[in-house]
Structure 1
Amino acid sequence: MKKTALLTGLAFASLSACAQTDPYITAAYSGMKFQVPGSPVIVGSIGANHDILLIKYSDTVGKRYISFGTENTLETGGCGWSDFFEATLSEKEAHSCDQASVESFKSVFFQGADAGIWKAADRAYYYFLPDQGSSFVFFQSNNGNLIKLESDFLDSDGFRRMLGDM
């Protein structure tokens, strides 16, 4: 009887330990939750006007990071965020956004990048993923802010996993 109880207890303890080995952790930003890779080296936040959450996976400065930032001051050329991102992704010259703003954004984020829109759960995610350097995903949060995700190591699948789309 004692052996059965002990084995049962060990089995439940083993199952509990195995269930907690998920390689992802939950990060909260701007009232939303994201699944980011586990085991970060450091997590930091700059509040107030900057409103940035930084998760680092390396001791090397500027390497292996994920950054969450609020970008409400992005110059959209007089149109809403969704219209602006649609204009940056479109081949068409005719749109309601200021052409100089669209071209300026394209020169920074779009050149040489795989770019497009992921749609999931009534939300549009505008992604700009170059072969080298930092990748970016922009979207509107639940509270109406424009959020910019940035990483120098996440690929399309990594961003989508983080956003809960996989």
Structure 2
Amino acid sequence: MKITYIPILLLLSALGCQASTSPAKTELLYSNHIFSVPPKASLVAAIGGENHLLLFRYGAEKGKKYLAFSNITPDESMNFGCQAEVFFAVLFTATTNESCNSDELTAFKGVFVDGHDVGGWAGDKLRIYFSIGKDQSFLFAFDDAGNAIKIESDFLSKAELNEVVGAAL
């Protein structure tokens, strides 16, 4: 009888060890899309206002090792001259559009394109334009409902940022 309990105890202890491991990613529902963010953030802050800023910090130092989400749909401070998604497509890909504000494109190229890896990822739910830099990276995501989301980080690589948005695409 004792021999029967030993395999069961070994199985239960192995399952217990598996259950205590932390997940590789945490699912985040933001602006009706599911993103996968790194777990174990040292700080999570939600700042209200029009942009609904959501900030994850992954260290003790303020302003370092962060991942931020913001809704830029209501941002009317920019004069793109064309739809925001079209503007970012022109900025980060080889597409052209004569109606986009050329002065704004020039200004944005200096910040987001020069010295950055730029391009786009597309899926059924989102189209994302990325600007991956040495010190800071940005993703601009657009959906069919007209929502625009900016995601930025100062520590995640291009591959890690692609994992963040992979399930949302």
TM-score normalised over the length of structure 2:
0.83
Structural mapping, 1:38-117, within 5 Å: 38-72=39-73, 73=75, 75=78, 77-90=80-93, 95-117=98-120
Alpha-carbon separation, structure 1, partners of 2:163 and 2:122: 13
Q: Which residue is equivalent to 1:145?
A: 147
Cα pair distance change 1:122/1:5, threshold 3 Å:
same
Give the superposition deviation at 1:16. 5.5
Alpha-carbon separation, structure 2, partners of 1:55 and 1:142: 26
Alpha-carbon separation, structure 2, partners of 1:163 and 1:14: 33
Q: In the TM superposition, what whole-angstrom CA distance separates every residue of 1:80-113 from its partner, at most 9, and x where no partner exists?
A: 1231112213467763211112112212211210
Cα pair distance change 1:87/1:45, threshold 3 Å:
same
- The one-letter code sitting in structure 2 at the alignment partner of 1:4 is T
Q: Which residue is equivalent to 1:7?
A: 7
Alpha-carbon separation, structure 1, partners of 2:95 and 2:127: 20
- Please say if residues 76 and 84 of structure 1, whose CA atoms lie closer than 8 Å, have aligned partners that are also in contact: no
- The one-letter code sitting in structure 1 at the alignment partner of 2:129 is Y
Q: Which residue is equivalent to 2:163?
A: 161
- Please say if residues 118 and 125 of structure 1, whose CA atoms lie closer than 8 Å, have aligned partners that are also in contact: yes
Q: Using the aligned pairs only, state the percent identity.
A: 30
Give the superposition deviation at 1:140. 1.5
Q: Which residue is equivalent to 1:120?
A: 123
Alpha-carbon separation, structure 2, partners of 1:85 and 1:31: 21
Greater share of strand residues, 1 or 2? 1
In structure 2, the gaps of 5 or more residues are: none
In structure 1, the gaps of 5 or more residues are: none
Q: Which residue is equivalent to 1:133?
A: 135
Question: RMSD across aligned C-alpha pairs, in angstroms?
Answer: 2.5
- The one-letter code sitting in structure 2 at the alignment partner of 1:89 is F
